[in-house]
A and B are shown apart, each in its own frame.
Chain A
Amino acid sequence: NAGVMQNPRHLVRRRGQEARLRCSPMKGHSHVYWYRQLPEEGLKFMVYLQKENIIDESGMPKERFSAEFPKEGPSILRIQQVVRGDSAAYFCASSPSAAPGEKLFFGSGTQLSVL
């Protein structure tokens, strides 16, 4: 059973371009979470999705950021018109249920660098 797969591992974009980060959850997992990690700041929650639905997007910036988790295919975190401050590691996690004691399984992350 493959783990959570994120691609690309490294993504370089120039200011103003779009960044698309992909996350394939573990087989049988229908809950996906996106986190952003900056040095010395830990992991900041961004958005929680369940198949075709956004459950909680309280951590997402109001502009330029969007996320989806379609019925078929991976979850996508999309950042439009990137700025240097978007440079960070973005992690995706998945779980099989929404139970509060449920363990999250993490991918290896996508390192976004904005030039």
Chain B
Amino acid sequence: AQSVTQLGSHVSVSEGALVLLRCNYSSSVPPYLFWYVQYPNQGLQLLLKYTSAATLVKGINGFEAEFKKSETSFHLTKPSAHMSDAAEYFCAVRGGNQAGTALIFGKGTTLSVSS
């Protein structure tokens, strides 16, 4: 079975500061990992995904994440926050050898950006 834990339900940063959103996963098989973003009153959009190729994954809007097997982590980072980054961010996991299974999401982290 797979699960993800997002540490910190709320993260606040200043505009221009580093963004770090934490995600740890648990998986009995090699995982596929995803980060999605949700803006108010909208559905989720994919930011980036890890599918066992490069461990450092670059996504849209300047975000990137690094897969660390030894730490079972897939933290999301962005060097410099913009006001438009304020949203809710979800980490998700799926078993890498399990076609036909659902994506399992964490509880989400709300990112606030102040000027």
Contact = CB atoms under 8 A, between A and B. Distances in A.
Interface of A: 4, 33, 35, 40-45, 48, 55-56, 59, 91, 93, 98-101, 103-104, 106-109
A59 B46 CA distance: 22
Given A42-B106, A45-B102, A91-B44, A101 B51 contact: yes
Given A42-B108, A43-B105, A100 B97 contact: yes
12 contacts: A41-B107, A45-B102, A48-B100, A55-B100, A91-B43, A93-B103, A100-B51, A100-B94, A101-B96, A103-B46, A104-B103, A106-B44
Nearest to B106: A42
Contact of A108 (B43, B95, B99, B102): B43
- Which residue of B32, B45, B101 has the most chain A CB atoms within 10 A of its CB atom? B101
B42 interface: yes
Interface string B78-103: 00000000000010001111111111
B9 to A, nearest CB: 7
Interface of B: 6, 9, 32, 34, 36, 41-46, 49, 51, 90, 94-108
Contacts of A99: 99
A108 B45 CA distance: 10
B108 A106 contact: no
A12 to B, nearest CB: 17
Contact of A42 (B41, B90, B98): B90
B96 A100 contact: yes
Contacts of A101: 32, 49, 51, 94, 96
Contacts of B97: 100
A40 B102 contact: no
